[in-house]
């Protein structure tokens, strides 16, 4: 019994800080379905390119198989990011979906650059195309892509990783529409140059969208502040709480899109009501500023003096080569390990 209670108390701090997001039960199911659908589209377009001699269909098949890899990343991210925090991963696994979005945006960029390269090559070397087959296969691909777009549109609004997956299928849809339009114009007017031109325009559009997600995910991974442009407002709100004298340190960061955390060392006036300040600060940060994880350290002047003294002594004692290394210096009593 004693062992169970000891074990339970060890893990309680991590369980208490878990962030619960609204469950999207259809998210994983939709991603898995979209993955298998993309495999089907890939096979369909590979067969179509051999029948029509269309390089555009073959290039689009390349997009789709890359998207299949992106869907696998997204599926992995959805499964892992909802795991609870533990002793090793104290903040949980939200960053997995941010990292997946980062990798996916790089993949989208690479695909778009490849399309641009292929478009330039097509301007130089014209290819005879069986437009009838090209029309049939591009129409079939559009139908399948519309199903994927509809599936992912419903679940992508509040999740950077799912939005990247949605961008992938949009990429495919626009690319296939370009193939269809190109096939119609080539068939009607023999405008062979229209296919690479449309590919070029769509590639630049997708590349721009990918760059936005790349920037957003990179800023989260680099711990940028979500309140950067509103810092003066946030500081003013905290200092407006009765008994708060100044902010000794402040950190705000993002765990994943829409989930923010903050940590403040707050200087309070001697003899002020700690409980009231803590309550008002939490209500402000959770209610108005929407922080999911909040860490507050309230210090009166004497406490700050003591803490600053400890920090200054520690910094003085640490040798330069020891910076950045974790040292666990105190010994545990023998009874700690007797359970």
Full-model pTM: 0.74
Hey, what are 108's tokens?
């989208």
Q: Is the confidence at residue 11, as pLDDT, over 80?
A: no
CB atoms within 10 A of CB 321: 7
Query: What are the φ/ψ torsions at residue 129 (nearest 5 degrees)?
Result: -125, 140
State both tokens at 133. 């087959």
Give 77's contacts (C-beta < 8 A, 6+ positions apart). Answer: 96, 97, 99, 100, 101, 161
Q: What is the pLDDT of residues 325-334, one digit of tens each?
A: 565 655 655 5
Calculate the alpha carbon distances from 157 to 152, 154, 178, 245, 295 in Å.
9, 7, 26, 40, 28
Q: CA 23, CA 20: separation in Å to the nearest integer?
A: 8
Domains, the chain, in order of start with CATH, read: 2-221 (1.20.1510.10), 228-337 (3.30.70.1350)
Give percent of the chain with pLDDT exceeding 90: 29
Q: How far apart are the first and last CA of the chain?
A: 10
The string of pLDDT tens digits covering residues 292-303 is 899 999 999 999
Give the separation between CA 183 and CA 128, rounded to whole angstroms: 11
Residue 32 CB partners (closer than 8 Å, separation 6+): 75
What is the SS3 assignment for 41? helix
Query: Which residues are 296's β-sheet partners?
Result: 264
């Amino acid at each position: 019994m004693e062992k169970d209670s000891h074990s339970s108390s060890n893990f309680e701090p991590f369980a208490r800080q878990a962030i619960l997001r609204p469950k999207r039960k259809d998210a994983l199911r939709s991603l898995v379905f979209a993955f298998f659908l993309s495999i089907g589209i890939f096979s369909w377009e590979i067969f179509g390119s051999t029948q029509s001699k269309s390089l555009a269909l073959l290039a689009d098949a390349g997009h789709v198989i890359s998207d299949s890899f992106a869907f696998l990343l997204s599926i992995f991210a959805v499964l892992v990011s909802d795991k609870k925090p533990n002793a090793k991963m104290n903040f949980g696994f939200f960053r997995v979906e941010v990292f997946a979005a980062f990798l996916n945006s790089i993949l989208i960029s690479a695909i778009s650059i490849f399309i641009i390269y292929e478009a330039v090559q097509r301007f130089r070397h014209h290819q005879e195309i069986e437009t009838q087959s090209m029309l049939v296969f591009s129409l079939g691909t559009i139908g399948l892509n519309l199903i994927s777009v509809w599936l992912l549109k419903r679940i992508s609004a509040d999740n950077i990783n799912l939005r990247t997956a949605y961008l992938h299928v949009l990429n495919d849809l626009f690319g296939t529409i370009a193939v269809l339009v190109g096939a119609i114009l080539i068939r009607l007017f023999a405008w062979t140059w229209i296919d690479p031109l449309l590919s070029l325009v769509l590639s630049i559009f997708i590349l721009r969208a990918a760059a936005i997600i790349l920037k957003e995910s990179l800023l989260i991974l680099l711990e940028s502040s979500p309140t950067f442009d509103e810092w003066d407002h946030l500081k003013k709100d905290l200092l407006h709480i009765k008994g708060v004298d100044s902010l000794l340190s402040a950190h705000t960061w993002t765990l994943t899109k829409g989930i923010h955390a903050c940590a403040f060392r707050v200087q309070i006036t001697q003899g002020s009501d700690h409980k009231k300040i803590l309550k008002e600060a939490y209500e402000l940060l959770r209610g108005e500023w929407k922080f999911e994880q909040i860490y507050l350290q309230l210090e009166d002047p004497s406490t700050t003096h003591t803490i600053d003294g400890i920090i200054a002594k520690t910094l003085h004692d640490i040798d330069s080569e020891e910076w950045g290394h974790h040292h666990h210096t105190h010994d545990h009593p023998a009874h700690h390990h007797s359970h």
